[in-house]
Structure 1
Amino acid sequence: MTNELRVGVLTISDTASLDPASDTSGPSLCRLVEAESRLIVQTKACVPDDFKAIQKTVTAWCDDLDLHLVLTTGGTGFGIRDCTPEAVLPLLDRQTPGITHLIFAKSIQITPFAALSRAVSGIRGQTLVLTFPGSPKAVKENFEAVAKMLPHAIDLARGGTGKKVHEKMQGGARPSGTVSNDEYSKSGATHGHGHGHGHGHGHSGHTCFHHSDKEARANATSLGLGTPVSRRLRKSPYPLIPMDQALASVMDRITPLPSVEKPVDEKLIGAILDEDVVAVEAVPGYRASILDGYAVIDTDGPGQYPVTAVSIAAASSDGSSTKLLQGQIARITTGGALPEGATAVVMVEDTQLIKSSEDGTREEIVEILAKVRKGEAIREIGTDVQVGQTVLKKGQAISAVGGEIGVLASIGVRQVRVKQRPIVGFLSTGNEVVNHDNGQPLKMGQIRDSNRPTLIAATKAAGFDYLDLGIAPDSPEDLEAAIKNGVEKCDIVVTTGGVSMGEMDLLKPILEQKLGATIHFGRLMMKPGKPTTFATVPNPKGGQTKLMFGLPGNPVSATVTFHLFVLPALRKLAGYEKYMWPSIQAEVTHDIRLDERPEYQRAIVSLTPEGRIQVQSTDKNQMSSRMVTMLGANSLLVLPSRTSEHSSVSAGQKIECLLIGKLA
C-alpha cells in the first residue's frame, strides 16, 4: 500500500447542492483530513438529499476511483429528507459497528443531541465509508474520534495484517509455545485482540478467509483457493438480493462506450448515432418527375404538341438541361429531370400519339388530353430533405428495416459518428463440458456444451459482436488465464458454470483473489438463476472497468439470466436509451402454482383473433436443466413469489411478460 491514503469528501445537502458557497461542513472536513499526515483529499462533491445521487457517487468513488476512504457529511438526522443511512447501508459489503459505536460514544459525551444522529459505517470492496452529520462542529467531533485509527483500519480493509500496530500495542509479545511466526499469522491469532475490528477469525472453526494469503483481496467473501473441501462453507456468504436491486447494481455501473466515425454501409446496422445528422445535399437535388409522361407548360392546356426533348432518369453529359418553350412538350420518365421552363407533368395515360418518325423510333407529335395544374407530378428541389435539415437525431438506432442507411446515403453523408459497439466474450467452464460438435461419443459424466452456442446465437440476433473464449477446465490456473484473456479483449465477459457451492466452483474466488474484481452480487432471489454473479474487473489496460457475469451452468438458468442481465447491459453499453426488454400485460391461459422465489417462466405470448393478448408457459415442468422449455419462447413470464394469501395465478388473470422475441 502506498504511503498516501486517498480520501473522498461528499457533502449531502439540498441547500448546498444549489448553492455550493453555503457548504461549511464539507470544507471543514477537508481541512481536518488534510491535517492528518497520510490522508489526502483526492476528490470532493456536493449532492442533494437524493437516494440515487448519493448511491451513484459513493459507488463510483469506491468501485471506479478505488479510494481508500469515503467520508460523507449530512443527511444522517431525523429530517424528512435525510436519507444518507438508507442510501449508504445497502452499498456496504460489511458494516463496522465498532467504529459507529466509537463515534457515538465520543459524541454523546459532548451533547445529548448526538443521539439524534443515525450515522452508519462500513466497508465496500476495499474502501472504508463513514457517514457524519451535517454541521462543522459535529464533523470535527466525529472525525477526531477516529482519525488516529483510520490508517490502521484502511490497512486491514486493504488486506494487510496490521502486524506493526498489533506488536506495538502488545509490546511485541507472541504467545508462548512452538508455533512459528508464519503459522501464528495463518491461524488468525494476531487478530484476537480487543480492538473491535470485527474480523471474526476465532481459533476453533477455521472457516474464515486468511489475510496471509497474498493473492486474496481484503474484501473477498469467498474462501482461499487452497482451502480443503472439508473446510468449505456450507452456506453461501453472498446475500440473496432482489431482482430490482440487482438490475440497478448492474445498470448504475455502465457508462456507454465512446464514439467513433464509421462509413455509411450495411455494417452500420445496430449502431447508435452519437450526433445529429444534417443533410449536406437536398433530396431531390433537381426538379424531378414523379411519373412517366410528358413535361409541359401548364398554361398551354390540352392539344397537339411537338415532342422536342427526352428526359430520362440519368445524369446529363454536360450537366445542363434542355429548355422548354411555349407550345412544346418533352417526354420524361419517373425520376427524370424537368427541362427548364416546364411547370407540370402529364401522365402517359392522358396522352395520345399523333405522329412518329418514319422509322418508328421517335415520337414527333403527341396530343395532351387532360388539363394539369402548375406543379402537378413534380418533386421540387428539397421536397423530401433540404440542405441543412436535421434528418437523424443523436441516440437514434440504425436499423435494418427503418431506412436509415438509405436516407443517409441519399443526403450525401458518407460517414457518421456512432457509439462503439461492445464486444462480449463467452466462456464455458467445467471438466465435464465438451464442444457440441467434437464428433466423439460422450464418455461417462460428459455433457455437450449448449450454453455457448445458445448465447452466441442470441448475441448475433441482437446485433452485437462476440468472441468465443472456448471451454476452461476446473483448474484455477486455466480458468484465471481464460478470464484474463477475455477481460483483455472484451468489454463484457460471460461465463457459465462454477458459481454454486461445489468444491470445483472456482469463479468467485478467482475473481476476488486473483483478478482484483469486486463482486457486487453472488446470489439472486429469483428462479431460475439463483447463483448468478456480477462483478467489475479492473481493466488491465486502464480506463473503464470491465463487466463480468458469472451465469449458472444449467442451460435454462444461463439463457434466462443472459436475457435479463447481459443483453440489457450490452444495449446500455452500446448507447441505447431504451435498453430494457419491453413489458406487457397478458392473460394467462392456465393455472400456475407460484414458487417461494419470484420466477421467470419461459412462455409464448400471442394475439387472439379477437385482439386479446394471451400467454402460456412453454412446458409445465420448468426445471432449469430442461432446455426444451426454451423452445418457441418469445417471452419471460414474470411471476411473483408465493405468499400465504396468493399461492397461484389463475387462468384469465393478467400478468407481466417481458418480450424477448416476436409475438406468435
Structure 2
Amino acid sequence: MDKPRLQAAILIISDTAFQDPSTDKAGDILSDVIAIDGNDQWDFTRRDILPDDVLAIQRAVTRYCDGEDFVNLLITTGGTGFAVKDNTPEAVTPLLHRHAPGLVHGMLQASLEVTPFALMSRPVAGVRNKTLIVTLPGSPKGAKENLQAILRLMPHACQQAAGGDSRELHTGGVKKLEEDAGVSGNKRQKHHHDDHVHSHDHTHNHGGHVVPKAHTRPEDRPISNDPRAGPTNRYRESPYPMLPVEDAVDVILANSPAPETINMLVNGLLVGYVLAEDVKANDPVPAYRASIVDGYAVIVSENGPSTKGMFPVASISHAAPGEIPTLQRGQIARITTGAPLPPGANSVVMVEDTVLRSTTDDSQEEKVVEILTDQVRADENIREIGSDIKAGEVVLRKGEEITAVGGELGLLASVGKAEVIVYRKPVIGVLSTGDEIVMHDRTGPLQLGEVRDCNRPTLMAAIKGWGFHVVDCGIAKDKPGSLEKHLRNALRNLDVIVTSGGVSMGELDLLKPTLERSLGGTIHFGRVNMKPGKPTTFATVPLKTNDGNPATRLVFSLPGNPASALVTSHLFILPSLQYSSGKQGPHGLPRVKAQLEEDVRCDPKRPEYHRVSLTPGPNGLLHATSTGGQRSSKVTSLRRANGLLCLPAKEWTAPKGEVVDALLIGGL
C-alpha cells in the first residue's frame, strides 16, 4: 500500500527573525530534516515567522488546525526556554485538546544524550482537532535533535489523529509499525541492558533516536501487596515510585477517555456541558426591521416633503405578532421598541421629538401628532434584519461551555436551536472503604474504633459542585469479597469510581491488590510526592459493557484521611473529568497569587498543599489565612477553605506578607 501524503507546516517564533527573516536558521534545518529523514511522506504547506507574542502564536495555530484544510503536523521552533519572552508553551498548551507527554519525554531523552542542558527546554506536544502539534527549541541544533528523535513516528500518530482506522493501522503489530517507520526498539534496549555496551549510534542517523521504550519486564514491575501473604510477608516499603504531582496529572490525562458526543435539548439541563460542534443561527436576529425606540414610524424621502409638521396616526405597531397595515405617504404609525416597521415606513421618529395635537372622540387614542424636527433621515432608529445575528452565522464555537450565567442558553434559544451536540459528561461513583467506617447519620454513640463516614458526602458534594452527576456507592468492608463486589457493580454502570481509604501499607489495605489481582486493572501510580495525599492511587480497569463493547474505567483511590481525600480529589480527579467532558485546557484548578496573612512553615520533605481561606484584599491581591492545623485527619481544616497554598519542599517559613502561588478550590 502506498504511503499516505501528509501535510506539515513550521512556525518560527522569534522577535529577531520576525524583524529580520534572514537571521532564521532553524527553519531551513528543520525543512531539510523532514525532506531527508521524512521517509518521503511529507508535503510542506508553508512556513511562517511570528513574534514572541501569545496571541499571534495562537492565531497561527488555530489557522492551521481548525477547518477542513488543516495540516497533519504543525511544528514550532523557539520560545520554549526560561527567558521572559519565551511564551510558546503558554500559548500552545491551552489550545490542545489531547496532550502527548510521550513525545515530550522522547525529545528530552534524545537531547539529554547530547547535553544535560536539554532539561532547560519546556516542550509541549499534543493534538488539536486532527493536527499533531510539537514545540521545538529555538536552537537549530536542539530543534534538529528533537525532531529527528520523533519524526519517523509522526506519520503513524498523524494518521490516528486524523481519524484513521486504528485496527487497520496496527495490523501486523508493533514489529510491523517499527519496520514501516524505519525504527527499532533493539538499539535502545541493548544500550541499557547489555553490560552498558554503548552500541547506540549518537549520530542522528535515520531512526537512531526513538521514543523511549520500557526497559523492565512486566513481572519485574511494582505490584501491590498480596493480602494472602499475611502481615509477616507484606511490604515494609511501598513498591511504587513516588511521582511529582505534575507527572501524576500527565499520567491521568494520558489515560482518561477521549470525549464522546451526545445530542441534548436546549433547556436548563444543558448547563455545564461543552459544545462538540459549532452552532449556526437558523434565523436572522432580528428577523424583521425593528424599531429601537418608542415613537412613530414615518416615510422619509430625500426629494419629498419634510417630516416636520402635522400627521395623522394611521396605525399602531406593538412588539407582538400580527398584521400591520401598509403606511401611506403623509401618515405615521405609533410604534414601540422592538416592534416591526409597518410596510412602507423607512424611519422612526422618537416620541421626544413630537407633540400630541388631537385625540379620538373617546380620548383613548392619538389622532394627530406634530413632528417637531425636519432632521429625520431614512433608516434612523431602526435595527435591520440580521444586524445582530445573520442567518447561518456561527454564534457559539465548538469547545464553549454552556454556563449557568444564562447567556449561552439565551443565544441558542434566540437563533431557534432546539437541540445541540455536546460532549457527554462522565458519571462518577463514590465508595468508602473500611471496617471502621459507619454511616454518618447512624443514631447512637460510636463504638471503640468506629469512625463516621465524612469522606463520601464530602467528595460527592465536591464532584456535584464541579457540575457532574455523582452516584453513592455506599461503604465496602475490608474484606476482599466485599470490596470486589462493590467495585464490580460500580464498574458496570459508571465511568469513574472514586474510593477513599485502603491505599496505605496495612495488611487490610486491599484497594491496590483488588484492582490488580482480582479485577485485572493497571495501577499507573501508587504514590505521589505531596502532603497531604502521598498514598493516592490511580488505576484503569478494562471490561466489557452490557452490550459487549470493550471499555476502560478509571479508578481514583484516595487516602482515608478527610483532608487528604478532598485535596487529592481537586488535584487529580477534576482535570480528568474536565478533559473527558470536552472542556478546553489547561485542566485543573485555577492558579492565583496570594499574600500570606501569617507565617507559614513549609514541610522539608514534600511539597505541601496548605488549606487556606482566600479573600480579596485592598491592594488588589488575594489574602490567604490558614485554616489552622494541617493534620490530614483534621476535618476542621476544611472549614472555610477555598484555596490551597502551593508550598515547596524546603526548610523554610514563608513570612507574613510573602506572595505565593495558590489554587482556587471554591468561590471567593
Q: Please report how far the alpha carbon of residue 278 of structure 1 lies from its aligned counterpart in structure 2 after TM superposition.
A: 0.9
8 A contact 1:17–1:47 mirrored in 2: no
For residues 422-571 of structure 1, the aligned pairs below 5 Å read: 422-541=426-545, 542-571=549-578
- Give the Cα separation in 1 of the matches to 2:294 and 2:407: 25
Note the alpha carbon deviations across 1:356-397, whole angstroms, 9 max, x for none: 222222221122234433322211110110011111111111
Shift of 1:67: 12
Q: Deviations over 1:267-326 (max 9, x none)?
A: 11111111111111000001112222221224542322111011111111xxx4321122
Measured in 2, the distance between the counterparts of 1:472 and 1:307 equals 79
Contact 1:588 1:651 (8 Å CA) reproduced = yes
1:50-80 deviation digits (Å, cap 9, x = unpaired)? 356879999x9xxx99999966979xxxxxx
Equivalent position SS for 2:410? helix
What is the alpha-carbon distance in structure 1 between the residues aligned to residue 392 and residue 33 of structure 2? 43
CA drift at 1:16: 9.1
Among 283, 286, 292, which residue is 1:284 paired with?
286
Match of 2:298 in 1: 296
Is the Cα–Cα contact under 8 Å of residues 600 and 637 in structure 1 kept in the other structure? yes
Q: How far apart, in 1, do the equivalents of 2:386 and 2:209 lie?
A: 68
Q: Which amino acid aligns with 2:652?
A: S
1:585 counterpart residue number: 593
Change (3 A) 1:334 1:257: same
Show the counterpart of 1:633.
Answer: 641
Work out which of the residue numbers 589, 612, 615 in structure 1 matches 2:621.
612
**What amino acid is aligned across from residue 566 of structure 1 in structure 2?**
I
- SS of 1:499's partner is coil
Could you tell me which of 22, 27, 50 is aligned with 2:107?
50
Instruction: Measure the CA separation in 1 of the matches of 2:490 and 2:39.
Output: 44
Tell me the equivalent position of 1:208: none
Q: Is this contact kept in 2: 1:426–1:456, CA < 8 A? A: yes
Q: Is the 8 A contact 2:222 2:239 kept in 1?
A: no
CA–CA distance in structure 1, aligned partners of residues 201 and 564 of structure 2: 40
Task: Please state whether the residue corresponding to 1:469 is helix, strand or coil.
Answer: strand
Alpha-carbon contact 1:594-1:647 (below 8 Å) kept = yes
Tell me how far apart the structure 2 counterparts of residues 331 and 491 of structure 1 sit (CA, whole Å).
Answer: 60
C-alpha distance in structure 2 between counterparts of 1:555 and 1:244, whole Å = 22
Identical-pair percentage: 43
Compared CA separation, residues 22 and 357, structure 1 to 2 (3 A): closer
1:433 and 1:449 in contact (8 A); partners too: yes
Secondary structure, aligned partner of 2:349:
strand
Aligned partner of 2:655 among 630, 650, 653: 650
C-alpha distance in 2, partners of 1:368/1:138? 83
What aligned pairs does 1:266-415 form with structure 2 within 5 A after superposition? 266-299=268-301, 300-316=306-322, 320-370=323-373, 371-415=375-419
Deviations 1:234-275 (CA, angstroms, capped at 9, x unpaired): 111112111111111111222432111111111111111111
* Cα shift at 1:625: 1.0
CA distance in 2, matches of 1:480, 1:415: 40
* Counterpart-to-counterpart distance in 1, 2:613 and 2:208: 62
CA 1:440–1:322: 2 relative to 1, 3 Å: farther
Q: What SS class does the counterpart of residue 538 from structure 1 fall into? A: strand
The CA deviation at 1:414 is 1.4
Please give the TM-score of this superposition, normalised by the length of structure 2.
Answer: 0.69
The reply to whether residue 600 of structure 1 matches residue 587 of structure 2 is no
1:639 partner letter: L
Q: Which moved further from structure 2: 353-362 or 277-286?
A: 353-362
CA distance in 2 between counterparts of 1:17 and 1:221 reads 44
Listed as ranges, the gaps of 5+ residues in structure 2 are 1-31, 43-101, 109-124, 127-149, 161-165
- What is the aligned partner in structure 1 of residue 262 from structure 2? 260
CA contact 2:244–2:529 (8 Å) conserved in 1: yes
Unaligned runs of 5+ in 1: 1-12, 24-45, 75-81, 89-95, 109-113, 120-132, 140-152, 160-198, 200-218
Q: CA deviation at 1:22?
A: 8.7
1:478 is paired with a residue of what secondary structure? helix
Q: Which among 25, 34, 38 is matched to residue 19 of structure 1?
A: 38
| Paired residue type of 1:308 | A
Structure 2 counterpart of 1:649, one-letter code: A
Deviations 1:88-136 (A, max 9, x none): 9xxxxxxx99x954xx36xx9xxxxx524299xxxxxxxxxxxxx9779
1:237 maps to which residue? Answer: 239
Maintained 8 Å contact 2:285/2:415:
yes
SS of equivalent to 1:252: helix
C-alpha change, 1:602 and 1:83, in structure 2 (3 Å) is farther
Q: Give the 3-state SS of the residue equivalent to 1:115 in structure 2.
A: coil
Distance 1:470 1:637, change over 3 A: same
SS at the partner of 1:600?
strand
* Letter in structure 1 aligned against 2:198: A
Contact 1:225 1:510 in 2 (8 A): no
Q: State the partner residue of 2:666.
A: 661
Where in structure 2 are the equivalents of 1:180-219 lying within 5 Å? Answer: none
Q: Report the structure number with the largest CA radius of gyration.
A: 1
Correspondence list, 1:98-109, <5 A: 101=193, 104=194
Letter in 1 for 2:665: I
Q: Are the counterparts in 2 of residues 220 and 513 from structure 1 also a CA contact under 8 Å?
A: no
Partner of 2:84 in structure 1?
Answer: none
The Cα offsets for residues 152-192 of structure 1, whole Å up to 9 and x where unpaired, read as x99x84x7xxxxxxxxxxxxxxxxxxxxxxxxxxxxxxxxx
SS at match of 2:595: strand
Query: Aligned partners of 1:519, 1:68: CA distance in 2, in Å?
Result: 28
Structural RMSD (CA): 3.7
Q: What is the SS of the residue equivalent to 2:368? A: strand
Equivalent residue number for residue 115 of structure 1:
198
Structure 1, residues 473-515: CA drift from partner, whole Å, max 9, x if none? 1111111111111111111110001001122110000000011
Scaled by the length of structure 1, the TM-score of the pair is 0.70
Separation in structure 2 between the aligned mates of residue 16 and residue 447 of structure 1, nearest angstrom: 66
- Distance in 2, matches of 1:296 and 1:478, equals 81
Task: Give distance in 2, aligned partners of 1:135 and 1:581.
Answer: 42
One-letter amino acid of the structure 2 residue matched with residue 115 of structure 1? H
Q: Matched residue pairs, number? A: 507
Bigger drift between 267-276 and 332-341 goes to: 332-341
Cα distance in 2 between the residues matched to 1:656 and 1:137: 42
Matched to 1:357, the amino acid is T
The alpha carbon displacement at 1:445 in A equals 2.0
Query: Which stretch of the first structure deviates more once superposed, 406-415 or 294-303?
Result: 294-303
Distance 1:441 1:301 in 2: 87
Describe the SS at the equivalent of 1:20. coil
